[in-house]
Amino acid sequence: MIAYSKLLLAGLCATFLLAAAVNTASANQLSVNEQRHRTVWSALQFNASAGGNVTCAVTLEGSFHSRTIHKLEGTLIGHVNRASIGTCSGGSATAHSETLPWREQYNSFTGTLPSITTVKIGLIGARFRIRNFIEACDAGTTQAEPGFGTIELARGEATGVVASGTIGLRESFLCFFGTGTFAGRGTVKTAGGGTVFLTLIGGSGSRPGRLTPSPIEFGRVAPEELARRTVTITAGISTITINRISVVSGNYFTITDPNRCVGTRLTEETTCTFRVIFEAPGEAERVLSDTVSVETTESTLVDTVRGST
């Protein structure tokens, strides 16, 4: 049962479940809609090479260094900052929290571009203490012997993660003879419990989206009225998720009901609309100009708001 420690460790590698999906064959960067992530396994089963199985509840929390990730094997993309192990059957385990943070590295993907179906992420530097009815062993991942989490993707949405890999055991003489694998599927969420969306960016011909009309023109209005225009966000070649809409400097222009679009996932050529309003009519006539910024998972879309009050 000492082999369980290797299995548990490998399972924890699933923390890397967040990497990316794809939109163009030549793109070389991945984009995630939120940097902080949380992976939960309610029942991660560790299959020993000899003996029975042990199952543990595992939670891993971490953060990517950026919302943009280079799709290059071995690239450091983030860290795991917290690891906790809940109830286990067949044994027990604890995380060596003093060794945190642990490193996350991009490894590979599967699927036919531009439709990637899985992304594989490696976990380096993780350390655990595993106990069973016979022996207690330390287990750890290294650059030469990492653990892995394979992220499942459905049209850019991370739907789960499957653990794989083998992990070395250390400490006592018996521990060096332990081997094993693990099985189980965990959930992939943002730190706040939201859905994780992943896209591919940086390829030639990539078109993240556009705003229309452009520019947004305003004319002179009566004091009792508001100059307002509806703006349409249209997805380009790839799927985008709208993270934020804002007026850059706020020269009397405001955005009405930005939440109508914020958090919306737009697939190819689909749209979402919001309104921009001029809120200070009746003043001396003058020319005003401002900028609307729409931040998406791929880029920032910018449109000019201008006219005479």
Q: How far apart are CA 37 and CA 274, in angstroms?
A: 29
pLDDT of 104 reads 94
pLDDT of 79 reads 92
Of 134 and 34, which is predicted with more confidence?
A: 34
pLDDT of 211 reads 86
Per cent of the chain over pLDDT 70 is: 73
pTM of the model: 0.59
Q: Rounded to 5 degrees, what angle do the CA atoms 44, 49, 52 make?
A: 60
| Residues 99 and 220 placed together within one structural domain of the fold | no
| Residues 101 and 118 placed together within one structural domain of the fold | yes
| Residues 76 and 117 placed together within one structural domain of the fold | yes
Last residue within a domain, chosen from 201, 221, 247? 201
pLDDT of 190 reads 87
| Residues 28 and 151 placed together within one structural domain of the fold | yes
Sequence letter at residue 111: G
CATH of residue 298: 2.60.40.10
| Residues 168 and 234 placed together within one structural domain of the fold | no
Q: How far apart are CA 71 and CA 109, in angstroms?
A: 9
Q: 67 to each of 77, 90, 198, 242, 253, how far by Cα in Å?
A: 10, 39, 10, 13, 29
How many domains does the chain divide into?
A: 2
| Residues 170 and 263 placed together within one structural domain of the fold | no
| Residues 155 and 264 placed together within one structural domain of the fold | no
Mean pLDDT computed over 169-177 = 64
| Residues 184 and 225 placed together within one structural domain of the fold | no
The range of the structural domain enclosing residue 245 comes to 209-308
| Residue 234 CB-half CA count within 13 A | 11
